[in-house]
């Protein structure tokens, strides 16, 4: 009997090896596909995540709330309630301060320009944070609203005060918000009093870096940072945070949104949603600009 | 091979699926949404390695690949890369299972540590070849160290929680049957 089993194993072993090698080839192919046609692979990922995570909706929210309460209880013991209240009041106060600043600037602008057209107020969709990225390698959260609720790729998400990130990956019942701190996040910003534009570069650190800044001398820590609206990545004028000087002497932004514990997010409906559909192409001079065509146009005219 | 009944085998496989689901669930809980914090040891891979070194029949390659691939999808890892490395490592360990039966834990631990080191190095190399985003070195190094130190814990939990031990004295048993 043992001998017959051994013979069966001898027979099965090459077949098994072929299957394992096939599996590894499939997985490596999947990785290559992920790298080569990333938007398609990420859409596939969004579908898979949408299949699994929202079905545990009933467990995620209560467990998170309970764990949060236990955590608060441990650190603040009896003054948990007071502390929560203070935090809420502080957040409200920040919002009021922000409103006052914005009104002041708006007033100044209106005084300066008589014919000023205000953009229609951005409307929003509220969503509960279901899950995070699951590791400190990626900075994103999963919301419980998706394509069914009208969410589209590229829309901005705020926590009511400051910008948190943009929608990147939409499933039917869930959508992923890529946070500004993620190492693949880049956003165009304006630094307020000087009006300089720059790019905010996420680095997986609490404070993203300000890069491509033309004149760093004009920037001081504490300056307001808002989205610039360039490249149609975000609507203009959304609060991002304040300029801060990092320990390494580089200019960073301390974000206005409370990133530590995100519970609810507002997804701003905006018409200009710059979606990423293709793997992208080289940044190169446009073919029309190249030499020989210009004289021909000149002779025509 | 015949030392574990089919129902027990399938029960353990079901338990692996449940454990993997629970581990991903805990990882995904949005307790700290901001940057910072420690990476988690890769418990799903570790359970796969420990079980394949105890009872290789319990951990078929398709089940391991399916659960680790689910982790690739859910935890925003590059799709397929970690699973491919994990399958390679699992098959290597499966081939070593008979010789590792009389290994002391320290030797087995260092063998798994070496395999994990190769896996992390392979991941970094593949990401470099494909010019993909490399995670920060301190993060990946701390995950590597935490995963290695979690290995004896998984071994202890397997031994005392599930009663899954290495097949002891395989020669006498096999000889007994054969004789």
Would you place residue A23 in the very low, low, confident or very high pLDDT band (cuts 50, 70, 90)?
Answer: very high
Are A134 and B73 a contacting pair at CB < 8 A? no
With a cut of 60, say whether residue B136 has pLDDT above it. yes
- More confident of the two residues A130 and A296: A130
- More confident of the two residues A83 and B111: B111
pLDDT digits (tens, 9 = 90+) for A136-180: 888 999 999 999 998 988 889 998 888 999 999 999 999 999 999
Of the candidates A207, A284, A280, A214, the one whose C-alpha atom is nearest the C-alpha of residue A240 is A207
Are B80 and A31 a contacting pair at CB < 8 A? yes
The whole-angstrom separation of Cα A49 and Cα B28 is 11
Would you place residue A225 in the very low, low, confident or very high pLDDT band (cuts 50, 70, 90)?
Answer: very high
Q: State the total domains in chain B.
A: 1
In-domain check, residue B66: yes
With a cut of 90, say whether residue B19 has pLDDT above it. yes
Cα–Cα distance list, A8 to A11, A12, B55, B175, B178 (Å): 5, 6, 19, 19, 16
With a cut of 80, say whether residue A57 has pLDDT above it. yes
Q: Which residues pair with A188 in a beta bridge?
A: A199
Q: Kindly state whether A279 is in contact with chain B, defined as any CB-CB distance less than 8 angstroms.
A: no
Range of the domain at B66: 6-29+38-178
Q: Please check whether residue A208 is in contact with residue A201, taking contact to mean a CB–CB distance below 8 angstroms.
A: yes
Q: Which residues pair with A189 in a beta bridge?
A: A198, A227
Are A136 and B177 a contacting pair at CB < 8 A? no
For residue A128, the surrounding DSSP H or E stretch is strand A124-132
Are A35 and B78 a contacting pair at CB < 8 A? yes
Instruction: Give percent above pLDDT 70 in chain A.
Output: 81
The whole-angstrom separation of Cα B56 and Cα B100 is 12
pTM of the model: 0.81
Would you place residue B79 in the very low, low, confident or very high pLDDT band (cuts 50, 70, 90)?
Answer: very high
With a cut of 90, say whether residue B92 has pLDDT above it. yes
Q: Kindly state whether A228 is in contact with chain B, defined as any CB-CB distance less than 8 angstroms.
A: no
Task: Give the distance from residue B150's alpha carbon to the nearest chain A alpha carbon, in angstroms.
Answer: 17
Average predicted confidence (pLDDT) for chain B:
87
Is residue A132 classed as helix, strand or coil in its secondary structure? strand
Domains assigned to chain A: 126-276 (2.40.10.340)
Chain A window 74-93: which residues touch B at a Cβ cutoff of 8 Å?
Answer: none
- More confident of the two residues A231 and B129: B129
Residues of B in contact with A179 (CB under 8 A): 33
pLDDT digits (tens, 9 = 90+) for A93-146: 888 888 888 888 877 777 766 554 445 556 888 999 999 888 888 899 999 999
Q: Please check whether residue B71 is in contact with residue B24, taking contact to mean a CB–CB distance below 8 angstroms.
A: yes
Q: Please check whether residue B94 is in contact with residue B52, taking contact to mean a CB–CB distance below 8 angstroms.
A: yes
Quote the pLDDT of residue A146: 92
The burial class, CB within 10 Å (0-12 / 13-18 / 19+), for A164 is buried
Would you place residue B174 in the very low, low, confident or very high pLDDT band (cuts 50, 70, 90)?
Answer: very low
In-domain check, residue B1: no
With a cut of 90, say whether residue A28 has pLDDT above it. yes
Pure H helices in A53-176: 57-76, 80-112
- More confident of the two residues A63 and A24: A24
Would you place residue B145 in the very low, low, confident or very high pLDDT band (cuts 50, 70, 90)?
Answer: very high
In-domain check, residue B114: yes
Q: What mean pLDDT comes out for the span B70-90? A: 94
Q: Kindly state whether A48 is in contact with chain B, defined as any CB-CB distance less than 8 angstroms.
A: yes
Quote the pLDDT of residue A66: 85
Would you place residue A297 in the very low, low, confident or very high pLDDT band (cuts 50, 70, 90)?
Answer: very low
Quote the pLDDT of residue B103: 85
DSSP 8-state symbol, A264: E
Pure H helices in chain B: 6-28, 43-54, 61-74, 81-96, 105-129, 137-156, 170-178
With a cut of 50, say whether residue B173 has pLDDT above it. no
């Amino acid at each position: 009997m043992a001998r017959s089993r051994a013979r069966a194993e001898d027979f099965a072993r090459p077949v098994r090896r072929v299957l394992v090698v096939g599996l590894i080839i499939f997985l490596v192919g999947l990785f290559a596909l992920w790298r080569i046609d990333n938007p398609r692979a990420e859409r596939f990922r969004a579908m898979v995540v949408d299949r699994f995570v929202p079905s545990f909706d009933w467990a995620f929210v209560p467990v998170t709330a309970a764990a949060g309460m236990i955590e608060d209880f441990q650190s603040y013991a009896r003054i948990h309630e007071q502390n929560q209240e203070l935090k809420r009041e502080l957040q409200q106060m920040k919002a009021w301060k922000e409103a006052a600043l914005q009104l002041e600037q708006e007033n100044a602008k209106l005084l300066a320009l008589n014919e000023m057209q205000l953009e229609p107020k951005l409307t929003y969709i509220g969503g509960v944070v279901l899950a995070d990225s699951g590791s400190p390698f990626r900075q994103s959260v999963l919301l419980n609203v998706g394509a069914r609720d009208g969410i589209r790729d590229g829309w901005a998400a705020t926590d009511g005060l400051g910008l948190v990130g943009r929608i990147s990956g939409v499933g039917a019942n869930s959508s992923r918000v890529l946070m500004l701190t993620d190492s693949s996040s880049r956003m165009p910003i304006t630094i307020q009093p000087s009006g300089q534009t720059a790019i905010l570069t996420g680095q997986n650190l609490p404070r993203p870096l300000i890069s491509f800044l033309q004149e760093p001398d004009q920037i001081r820590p504490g300056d307001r940072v808002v989205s610039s609206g360039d490249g149609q990545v975000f609507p203009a004028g959304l609060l991002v945070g304040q300029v801060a000087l990092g320990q390494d002497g580089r200019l960073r932004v301390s974000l206005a949104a409370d990133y530590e514990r995100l519970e609810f997010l507002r997804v701003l409906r905006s018409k200009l949603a710059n979606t990423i559909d293709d793997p992208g192409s080289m940044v190169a001079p446009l073919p029309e600009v190249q030499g020989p065509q210009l004289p021909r146009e000149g002779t025509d005219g | 091979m015949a030392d574990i009944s089919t129902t027990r085998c399938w029960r353990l496989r079901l338990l692996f699926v449940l454990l993997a689901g629970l581990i991903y669930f805990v990882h995904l809980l949005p307790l700290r949404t901001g940057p910072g914090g420690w990476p988690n040891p890769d418990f799903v891979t570790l359970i796969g390695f420990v079980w394949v070194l105890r009872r290789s029949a319990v951990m078929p390659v398709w089940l391991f690949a399916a659960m680790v691939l689910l982790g690739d999808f859910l935890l925003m890892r590059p799709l397929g890369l970690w699973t491919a490395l994990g399958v390679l490592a699992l098959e290597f360990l499966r081939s070593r299972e008979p010789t590792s039966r009389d290994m002391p834990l320290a030797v087995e631990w260092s063998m798994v540590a070496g395999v994990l080191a190769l896996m992390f190095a392979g991941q970094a190399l593949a990401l470099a070849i494909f010019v993909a985003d490399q995670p920060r070195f301190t993060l990946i190094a701390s995950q590597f160290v935490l995963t290695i130190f979690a290995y004896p814990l998984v071994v202890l939990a397997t031994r005392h929680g599930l009663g899954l031990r290495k097949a002891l004295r395989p020669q006498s048993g096999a000889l007994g049957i054969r004789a």
